[in-house]
Amino acid sequence: MNPMAVWHLILIRLVIAVSMAGLGSLVAVSFKKISHLGLCILISFAAGALLAVSLLDIVPETFALIGWAGASLSLLSGYILFFFVTKFIFHICPACAATHTEINFKAITIAMITALSIHSFMDGLAIYSGYLTQSSVGMLIFLAVAYHKLPEGMALTLVARGSGMSRLKAFATCVGLEFTTTLAGGFVGLFMMIPDSSKWIGYVLGHVGGGFIFLVIHALLSEVVKHHPRSTIFAALAGGTSIAVIGLLIGTH
């Protein structure tokens, strides 16, 4: 497949992922109220899918490409990056934060936009680097990212509406941020990564996987402890099972 055809295929995946966020945003502006439980279930389902693709696909692929030492460091780097963004800037997963009812969102702040930008940038980079593995792992990463874009779009739009934005402005803010930052991650991967270098791909995959694992812990822990433990666990198991089943069907597991 020539480079232009490859980029067209990756672009389609990026656009589909962003469209899922747009769909979530559209749902959020179409209803007067979305229950905390409903949003929690969607986020938990997506978190379970991210955890499954991280543990069953990204981590093994990373270890195979760059060995134990390199894989451990790259996974840790992704986890630490998202930890510090959450601790010192804003919740790296605005969708997860929006389910924490003890948090009062009065405005869409620069800090939140920065955190979401880093998060979505990594989504785009994950889709591109997954494709470069030339295996079915890339498809599973794409599906997991697309899963979590739906509740992310819903939550971000709900936060924007809560800050006083009109429905149209909230929708445009969500879709604009998701489109710009997710595609930016894909473009940076295209221009910076070396397609035939297994080490480059391994380090990036590990970094992305570490970030995904942090997102899962951050998304699920508060819900399990404080809000809807049974629903959270069942939804996460369903999300993880969906990725595992798809992996079996396409031959990765």
High-pLDDT (> 70) share of the chain, %:
81
Give the pLDDT band of residue 38 (cuts 50, 70, 90). confident
Give the residue among 172, 127, 118 at the shortest CA–CA distance from 146.
127
Tell how far CA 209 is from the center of its chain: 10
For residues 10 and 205, the answer to whether their CB atoms sit within 8 Å is no
Say if residue 20's pLDDT is above 50: yes
pLDDT digits (tens, 9 = 90+) for 96-105: 655 554 455 5
Task: Tokens for 151, please give them.
Answer: 């509740």
Q: Which residues contact 244 (CB under 8 A, 6 or more apart)?
A: 52, 56, 253
| For range 203-220, the mean pLDDT | 88
Rounded to two decimals, the pTM is 0.85
| For range 53-63, the mean pLDDT | 92
